[in-house]
Structure 1
Amino acid sequence: MQMKKDGHIKFYTKREWEEIGEAAGLHYIDGFETSIRFPKKRETAWGFEDILNRFDHDVIAGYNLKITDDEIWVTERVNNFLFQKPRTEEGR
């Protein structure tokens, strides 16, 4: 992720991560996707109701929200990648 100037977060695709790795001289070896789930207290989730009303339902559904009386549980998908620095003739 990268925090953008407007405060939003840019989530990179698998291909974008591969390009970032290639630009840094790394080779993509393998990867997999996992999920993390974490709570947010409703009392500190300012603007949450506005977000639910403003954005497309399919986008919101992608976060697999669970809403209780006092918490909002959010699930995010996480890409896990393994990059390797190529060996040089001198490094062998």
Structure 2
Amino acid sequence: MPRSDVVKQYALRAADGVCQGCGDDAPSKTESGDDYLEVHHITRRSDGGADVPENVIAICPNCHRRAHHGRDKQAFNKELKAQAQQRERSVE
């Protein structure tokens, strides 16, 4: 199933060029000059996670690897989920 570009753009705009995992500025720029962050599904789509704003967050490549492969990935994803929930509450 294709991923929603609207959801991806939402997460990137909400991050405003700052990794939502470590708090550092995006590590580089895209070819078009935008800040480079990766959109992470907190609950993986393969595990039934929805492609909705509440389940995505924009993070740097290092944090993205940590979220998937780090020793502390469960705790880290829990932190990311809390941040996404806080972001959504502030929008309401």
The TM-score range, normalised by the shorter chain, is: under 0.3
**Structure 1 or 2: larger strand share?**
1
Q: What TM-score results when the alignment is normalised by the length of structure 1?
A: 0.22
Q: Which has the larger radius of gyration?
A: 1
Task: Return the structure number with greater helix share.
Answer: 2
Q: TM-score, normalised by structure 2?
A: 0.22
**Looking at both structures, which has the greater relative contact order when contacts are Cα pairs under 8 Å and sequence separation is at least 6?**
1
